[in-house]
Amino acid sequence: MWYAILLAGAIGLDQLLKWWVTSHLEVGQSAPLLPGVVQLTRLHNTGAAWSSFSGKTGLLAAVTVVLLAAVVYLVVKKIVRHPLGLSAAMLVLGGGIGNMIDRIFRGYVVDMFDLQFMDYPIFNLADIFVVMGVILGAVYYLWFYDKYDKRSGKEPGDDTAADSHK
């Protein structure tokens, strides 16, 4: 249940913030959020990270669907079972779905976080969720997967693995 709430919350927060930005700011217009740190600047991104693949919405949507399907497969087939791994998967799915909604219904992704203390591309909440999910997924894989989720070559009731060592 927790994972469904995390997934729905990630998608909902992303879409709510994008709705607010598109309702209150014109394209290119900014509003202060944390002065000197970050402001909200409405940007329409037809590409991926750093506007790479601009104008290739169909290709980006297809790649996103494949990647999201891979994450769903890992969860549904219970390859990932540990809470940290599942949380990471829900964040990646939530962010991916949030940006996919934009690509399908708008033809572009709404970006808004504009860092003031460094030169960095404008990004959105879905991007943050994906990055957080990937980082948590790496931590999960490096420190928890082998201990909690990795399956041995032997399935219950399968004596062939034991017989091969005799």
Active site residues: 111, 127
Contact 16, 98 (CB under 8 A): no
d(CA 111, CA 40): 9
Name residue 111's beta-bridge partners: 43
Tokens 């591309």 correspond to 121
CA distances from residue 154 to 59, 118, 160 in whole angstroms, order as listed? 40, 52, 8
Q: Please work out, in degrees rounded to the nearest 5, the angle formed at the alpha carbon of residue 150 by the alpha carbons of 147 and 151.
A: 125
Give the residue carrying structure tokens 């169909």: 58
Q: What are the two backbone dihedrals, phi and then psi, of residue 52, each rounded to the nearest 5 degrees?
A: -65, 150
